[in-house]
Amino acid sequence: MDNAGKPIKNFLEIPYDELEEMNLQAKKKRDTLDQKTQEKEYREYLTKEKRVKAVTLCFSNIEGRLHMLDYDKKFLLESSENLTFDGSSIRGFTAQHESDLRLEVDWTSFLWLPADVFGPGKVIMFANIMNRDKTPYESDFRSLLQIHTKRLKEKQNITAYASAEIEGFVVDGTDAELSYEQNGGFRLISAGGYYHALPLDKLKRFIDASAEAQRAMGFKNEKDHPEVAPSQFELNFSYTEALRAADQMQLYKLVCRQVANNMGMTATFLPKPVANINGSGMHTNFSLAKGGKNIFYQKGGRDELSPLAWDFISRLLNHAPEICLVFSSSVNAYRRLDP
């Protein structure tokens, strides 16, 4: 406070109900406004809204690790066409002698963040990774997904949808991975069990806080609950267009990790963090729609599925080995197959 009793720092803090409405409106814009119009509107908003101090840009590496960097708002608005980073410092990206890569801001991914979780005065967007010549970087799966889904929509009027059911564990202590050896493993916080936790125990309070933050970010929550193993959780949210679903998967993990950290705990999405109990999975649902109609469904078809749906399944299974290289790239993923 200054001598007049006014706060020295006056950064944006939005109540959760208003935040949810703003983020839902942002999602609606993606369906009704083109990319250039959205960029223009958000640039004007950031210019006028003095209480936003920084813009967080996100991108993912080959293994799905989310990387984030905060740009000063004024710098981003002035230099958004020249955002570079060292690709050799990101696992699986460029070699050191050709390290420079570019970030292309996806303004259609604009979201406001809950101030009590991430700090006041911040908004978040995803970025696509580009080569130095501004062509899409071949190891940026988000860019590839955006290209393919856009092509599918433009050429066949088909929209790809997805939703994920992501399981995780909450364990005691912040950055619990660092003390894993010292503690002889992770320390669970709840005996719990499937749909079984006291309303105010640590696990349930974590679930509630994470669900509230996600709802405020426009996730359209469905249900949240303790899972089968002790200290295990799952928070479900509605399906959406495939690119946004991929973004939400990353934001889901980010929210859970930050909420847990704020509460003195660690959220982990390791497939098998604790031996001899259930591991975690990420059940993902896919569908294709044309003219608002689910074209995977066919009344009277085999298991009520259309030939296209069966072809989709067949192609997924055919490429299962390659998919596993990306989706299940760690030894820990296959430890889930053990009891």
Q: What pLDDT does 316 receive? A: 95
Whether the Cβ atoms of residue 48 and residue 74 lie closer than 8 Å to each other: no
Q: Which residue has the higher pLDDT, 195 or 155?
A: 155
Whether the Cβ atoms of residue 303 and residue 310 lie closer than 8 Å to each other: no
- Kindly report the pTM of this predicted structure: 0.93
Whether the Cβ atoms of residue 260 and residue 206 lie closer than 8 Å to each other: yes
Nearest Cα to Cα of residue 261 among 121, 157, 117, 164: 117
Domains annotated for the chain, with CATH where assigned, are 16-137 (3.10.20.70), 159-337 (3.30.590.10)
Q: What pLDDT does 100 receive? A: 85
Whether the Cβ atoms of residue 171 and residue 266 lie closer than 8 Å to each other: yes
Q: What pLDDT does 63 receive? A: 87
Mean pLDDT for 123-144 is 93
Portion of the chain with pLDDT greater than 70, in percent: 96
The span from the CA of 313 to the CA of 231, in Å, is: 33
Per residue, what are the HEC states of 188-239?
ECCCCCCCCCCCCCHHHHHHHHHHHHHHHCCCCEEEEEECCCCCEEEEEECC
pLDDT tens digits, residue range 92-107? 787 666 678 999 999 9
Provide the β-strand partners of residue 172. Answer: 265
> Given pLDDT bands bounded at 50, 70 and 90, which one contains residue 15?
very high
> In a 3-state reduction of DSSP, which class is residue 133?
coil
Nearest Cα to Cα of residue 126 among 110, 115, 138: 110
DSSP 8-state code for residue 253: H
pLDDT tens digits, residue range 43-98? 999 999 999 999 999 999 988 899 999 999 999 999 998 898 888 888 878 766 66
pLDDT tens digits, residue range 175-191? 999 999 999 999 999 88
Q: What pLDDT does 5 receive? A: 59
Q: Is the pLDDT of residue 327 over 90?
A: no
Q: What pLDDT does 329 receive? A: 86
Of the candidate ranges 106-120, 184-198, 214-228, the one whose mean pLDDT is the lowest? 184-198
Q: How far apart are the first and last CA of the chain?
A: 57
